[in-house]
Amino acid sequence: MYSERVMDHFQNPRNMGEIEDASGVGTVGNAKCGDIMRIFLDIDEEGVIREAKFKTFGCGAAVATSSMATELVKGKTVQEALQVTNKAVMEALDGLPPVKVHCSLLAEEAIHAALWDYAKKQGIAIEGLQEPRADIHEDEES
Ligand code: FES
């Protein structure tokens, strides 16, 4: 049911933890399954993501997608990180079962929420970035 990559990132999650004084922090949740994901980003003066960490209280797929999403955004610019969609995360994990697609959506939303927080703190606007619906919200697409 799960790819080897998903199992690997679930059993050996990368970038688990938090960043003190992070440039941006995003917390999102899915009211249906009750899972919560928080992503921390450390972004330098050039707008490059130096470090990304996560804390996820959720299912195995949510842990695996958090792990992969943080791996994918590290070293990227803020603009490039916006391209790390849930599809990109799923592809990097060699797919997810259909009932677990919403878990990868949580990862995309957590990154966007962290970028939004960063932009707010910096007083800048990031082109193409929408304000997160709310910190914790219901996901209709599960
Ligand atoms: Fe909800 Fe995975 S079951 S995030």
Report pLDDT digits (tens) over 72-110: 999 999 999 999 999 999 999 999 999 999 999 999 999
Q: Is 62 helix (H, G, I), strand (E, B) or coil?
A: helix
Strand order in the sheet with 24-29: 24-29, 36-43, 49-57
Question: Residue 50 belongs to what H/E stretch?
Answer: strand 49-57
**Residue whose entry in the numeric block shows the structure tokens 């677990």:** 100
Per-residue pLDDT band for 1 (boundaries 50, 70, 90) equals: confident
Residue nearest to atom 1 of ligand 1 (CA): 33
pLDDT number for residue 142: 42
Has residue 139 got a pLDDT over 80?
Answer: no
- Contact (CB, 8 A) for 84 and 28: no
What confidence tens digit (pLDDT) does each residue in 26-66 have? 999 999 999 999 999 999 999 999 999 999 999 999 999 99
Quick check: is 59 catalytic? no
Ligand 1 centroid to residue 123 C-alpha, Å: 33
User: Given the CA of residue 33, which atom of ligand 1 is nearest to it?
Assistant: 1
Ligand 1 contact via 101 beta carbon (within 6 Å): no
Give the C-alpha separation, 65 to 86, whole Å. Answer: 8
